[in-house]
A = this chain, B = another copy of it.
Amino acid sequence: MRLEELIKTNSAIVENELDKYTNTSDGYGLTEIMRYSLLSGGKRIRPFIAIESYKLFAKDGADIKKVLPFACALEMIHTYSLIHDDMPCMDNDDYRRGRLTSHKVYGEAKALLAGDALLTYAFDVAASNTLVSPKSVVLAVRALSEYAGFSGMAGGQMIDLDSAHNVNSYESLKEMHSLKTGALIKCATLLGYYASTDEPDKSVEKALETFANDVGIAFQIRDDILDRIADTGVLGKPVGSDDKNGKTTSLSYLTVEEAQKEVDKFTGEAISVMTKLYETYSASEDRTLADFAKYLAERNK
């Protein structure tokens, strides 16, 4: 299957699962608000990476049902972080993925609560994975909470809030993005692995984390470039908003050409790490994650 078809296929599967998980009249109207953001058609990058990481390591004909709860949990955590980041006290964004943000539609209190409930539900969904061992579930829950928490994604957001003090160089900016974006991508690679085994190998975990960190940084810099040069219609959000908001991005330190060179450098490193992993797991002829790293580096939206 060509990569773009696979992205569509995986995305449709994840979409369907996310719909099923939240299709309930429980929640006193809260699930409707959770669904508004969760089912608004994101790229589903983290679930894709989790699923393909699982397929790389699975020895059992890759029954992806084993990784789907983890993949959905990742997307729920990603979505909660977007809802909270968009709130007036954070980035104060009115639009996300071409639609009004949650707090613009439902008000701040309910948006806050929907974010809380999505974060909470992510752990329920991950912990209810009965197709893997309890030991695998515990590994997944620990990774989700560590990479989403104060030493991961939330820590990155904290740096961002204090960015006037903390982000004063290209290096510190990369550190922030390594947490804000990279942490959950790392978690995605690990969760795929944990769905395949409950006795993970430290060296594999380390390789996956390096791959994911490179992909995360390249992804973020490509995002900065697209915000400057993309077509608004293609991007689905206003172009030039970073400049308008005086936001510090990689383009505060680099030209567009230099930035794309960085994207290519980190992507090259990611592909090289993944190639070594393929060699170790030589049974696998699957080059999807390396191809996906390249795809993200070259994307136009």
Contacts and interface: CB of A to CB of B under 8 A. Distances in A.
B109 A150 contact: no
A144 B122 CA distance: 12
A87 B138 CA distance: 33
A168 to B, nearest CB: 14
Please report whether the interface of chain A is mostly helix, strand, loop or mixed according to DSSP: helix
A28 B166 contact: yes
A144 B123 contact: yes
A251 interface: no
A148 B133 CA distance: 24
Interface stretch (A52-60, A112-120, A253-261): A112-120
A150 B89 contact: no
User: Which of A90, A158, A162 has its CB near the most chain B CB atoms (within 10 A)?
Assistant: A158
B108 A89 contact: yes
A154 B112 contact: no
Interface in A116-153: 116-117, 119-124, 127-128, 133-135, 137-138, 141-142, 144-146, 148-151
25 contacts: A26-B150, A27-B155, A30-B150, A30-B158, A31-B150, A84-B112, A87-B112, A113-B154, A113-B158, A116-B154, A117-B149, A117-B154, A119-B119, A120-B145, A120-B148, A120-B149, A121-B149, A123-B123, A123-B141, A124-B141, A124-B145, A127-B138, A127-B141, A133-B134, A138-B138
Interface of A: 26-31, 34, 80, 84, 87, 89-90, 107-110, 112-113, 115-117, 119-124, 127-128, 133-135, 137-138, 141-142, 144-146, 148-151, 154-155, 157-159, 161-162, 166
